[in-house]
Amino acid sequence: MSLPPESREEAIARLTKSASELETRNAPPTSSEIAGMAVANQAWKIVADLFGGVFLGLAAGFGADWLFGTRPWGIIGGVLLGFALSIYMARRTANRLMAQAKAAGVEPKSIPFDDEDEER
Indicate the domain borders of the chain. Answer: 46-105
Q: Record the pTM.
A: 0.64
The CA–CA distances, whole Å, from 36 to 30, 49, 78, 93, 96 equal: 10, 20, 35, 17, 18
11: how many CB neighbours lie within 10 A of its CB? 11
Q: For position 115, what pLDDT does the model report?
A: 58
Given CA atoms 87, 90, 93, 99 in this order, what sign does their dihedral have?
Answer: negative
Q: For position 39, what pLDDT does the model report?
A: 86
- Read off the pLDDT of residues 19-39 as tens digits, 9 standing for 90 and up: 999 988 888 888 888 888 888
56: how many CB neighbours lie within 10 A of its CB? 16
On the question of pLDDT at 83 being above 80, the answer is yes
Q: For position 24, what pLDDT does the model report?
A: 87
Given CA atoms 107, 91, 36, 112 in this order, what sign does their dihedral have?
Answer: negative
How far apart CA 2 and CA 118 sit, in angstroms, is 72
- Read off the pLDDT of residues 95-118 as tens digits, 9 standing for 90 and up: 998 898 889 887 766 666 665 655
